């Protein structure tokens, strides 16, 4: 599934609920899911990581939709490599 199709699926599945909840509460859920992802990455199983990455992706997509951001358009920012230096791999100074 590509990003645009995923965003459309999330909009169809949860869009009305997300709009009723609003951006602030949706962001709070997103942040909570990021915490769960952190635990899965460092202490969870592979299955836990799959579940939490998918949850974070879903909440990020819902939040983007509420903010009027097309994630396919946002992803294109990285299509040619690093958006700062334009290289793949990135050649920006670390810091």
88 DSSP assignment: S
pLDDT of residue 71: 98
Domain ranges of the chain: 3-76
pTM of the model: 0.91
Q: How many CB atoms lie within 10 A of CB 41?
A: 12
3-76 classified as CATH 1.10.10.10: no
pLDDT in tens, the chain (95 residues): 999 999 999 999 999 999 999 999 999 999 999 999 999 999 999 999 999 999 999 999 999 999 999 999 999 999 999 999 999 999 998 85
pLDDT of residue 95: 58
pLDDT of residue 94: 81
The Cα–Cα gap between 48 and 45 comes to 5
């Amino acid at each position: 599934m590509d990003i645009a199709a995923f965003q459309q699926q999330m909009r169809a599945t949860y869009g009305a609920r997300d709009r009723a909840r609003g951006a602030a509460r949706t962001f709070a859920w997103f942040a909570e899911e990021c915490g769960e992802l952190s635990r899965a990455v460092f202490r969870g199983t592979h299955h836990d990581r799959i579940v939490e990455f998918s949850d974070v992706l879903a909440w990020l997509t819902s939040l983007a939709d509420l903010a009027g951001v097309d994630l396919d358009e946002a992803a294109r920012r990285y299509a040619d490599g690093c958006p700062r230096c334009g290289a793949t791999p990135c050649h920006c100074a670390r810091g």
